[in-house]
Amino acid sequence: MSEAETKCPKCGSTQLKTGKRGWTIWMGLIGANTIISTCLKCGHKFKPAKEKK
C-alpha cells in the first residue's frame, strides 16, 4: 500500500467511491460539482484531501 492512498477518516478503509456530489431539491445546484468520496465499508462521506506536490 502506498502512502498516497486515500483512506476513510472514520474507519480507515481504502474501499472508496469518488464522484461529484450532484444536486438535490433542498440544496439546488450550489456545490453540485464538489468532489465527494464515500466509504463503501461504513458509508461515511467526505471531501478527499488534495495531493501534495
Q: Report which of residues 1 and 38 the model is more confident about.
A: 38
> What does the pLDDT average to over 39-51?
86
Instruction: Give the Å distances, CA to CA, from 28 to 5, 13, 31, 37, 47.
Output: 32, 31, 8, 20, 19
Q: What is the pLDDT of residue 28?
A: 61
Residues in Cβ contact with 41 at an 8 Å cutoff, skipping those fewer than 6 apart: 8, 11, 13, 15
Which domain, by its residues, includes 21?
16-46
Angle, CA 9 vertex, CA 13 and CA 12 arms, to 5°: 25
Q: What is the pLDDT of residue 1?
A: 44
Q: What is the pLDDT of residue 2?
A: 47
Strand partners, 46: 37
Average model confidence (pLDDT) across the chain: 78
Residue 5 domain-assigned (yes or no)? no
Whether 2 and 33 have beta carbons less than 8 Å apart is answered as: no
Domains held by the chain: number = 1
Q: Report which of residues 14 and 27 the model is more confident about.
A: 14
Residue 11 domain-assigned (yes or no)? no
